[in-house]
Amino acid sequence: MLHKSLNPCGGAERVCLVIIEVLKNLGFSVTLATFERTNWFQVFEMFPNIIKPDREVVISALNLKAFSIYVHTLNMLRLLNYGKNFDISVNSHGDVLLVPADIIYMHFPTFFLLPFTEDGVKYYKAIPWKVYYLPHKYIVKVLAKSMNNSIILTNSHFSAMMIKKFLNSKPLILYPPVNVEIFEVIGKFPEHRENIVVSIGRYSPEKRFEWILHVAREMPDINFIIIGSANNKYSISYYEKLMLMKRRMNLNNVELLRNLPFKAMLKILSKAKVYLHAMKMEHFGIAVVEAMAAGLVPVVHRSGGTYTDVIEFGRYGYAYETLEECVKAIRHALDNHLKWFPVVKRAARRFSRKRFIEGFTKIVEKVMSI
């Protein structure tokens, strides 16, 4: 198993852990190769009842601030031949590690979109930056070509479209595993819900939690709760920025909760009616599905896999683009929560952990029979 690090405890890490469980149940002895030693206490706090690998190997990674994109590429190159010593190799972080394996789970072709990000647009502007980026662009193309013999899996039709566009490879869609059963249990009493809007995710700028503060300012009579993890200086810095925004905007109807225990998060979800997802171009959105399983009505940005696959273009929730649309959708969701409650809970079952395990097991059996 190849994965950059399990410590972020996000959706990609959940996929990695369930794949480890599948392989263990099939009788494999599993070695996990990472660039950062796993904080298993933290991982168990976020993902109870997981199965650890038999062995973890920490690849000593270069860590330099200068030439960062090339440093990461050099780190990846150290993994190129690692999987050849095993019966089967799985890269569960294919969007971050362009390393060939028998099976690759690529959440999104992140490497190819670097120049289009907020930090990466500089690579297309000034000539020195263009010169700096050009070798990296070539290396990425070569590495991507080496992945063509792998079975590539992804999390949504949206991600599949982007992978086909940039890698010229048609991936299989295998939705991420969601513990819908755990969340279904807490969502049994819709009539006792309160006018609470919840958002969950890492404290990271791409999650666009600032948007939620602006929405909350337009809805002072509704309570908003943001639940997020912040385990490094970047996420803590973003959390502190949001806290400062909240104070400056005088938002008494917003709570910003950090590193909340799992049971405490479940308790909040059991009281809320609406789940607001602010991220644009979300690849999938596991937290959205979990909230749906708990009976919350999703309100998501009209883009990405959350829109195309999770709520199916509005069949299982609301979508927005503007602030006005978002406020209107939340009002409508709050007023019609009882009607939506059984609909969203049924829709969440499409992404069950059981379905992922069955699908991945078939793929492993296919690889081993070749």
In the chain, where does the domain assigned CATH 3.40.50.2000 lie? 11-177+353-369, 180-350
Q: Contact, 351 vs 178, CB < 8 A?
A: yes
- Rounded to the nearest integer, the mean pLDDT of the chain is 88
Domain 11-177+353-369 has CATH 1.10.3110.10: no
Q: Inform me whether the pLDDT recorded for 116 exceeds 60.
A: no
Q: Inform me whether the pLDDT recorded for 122 exceeds 70.
A: no
| pTM, entire model | 0.85
**Sequence-ordered list of residues with C-beta below 8 angstroms from that of 308, at least 6 positions apart, any chain:** 156, 157, 158
Which CATH number is correct for 180-350, 3.90.650.10, 3.40.50.2000, 3.10.450.50, 3.30.460.80? Answer: 3.40.50.2000
Q: What is the pLDDT of residue 192?
A: 85
User: What gap in Å lies between CA 138 and CA 73, rounded to an integer?
Assistant: 12
Helix axes 11-25, 353-369, angle to 10 degrees: 60
Which residue type is seen at 266? L
| Interval 1-15: pLDDT, tens | 999 999 888 888 999
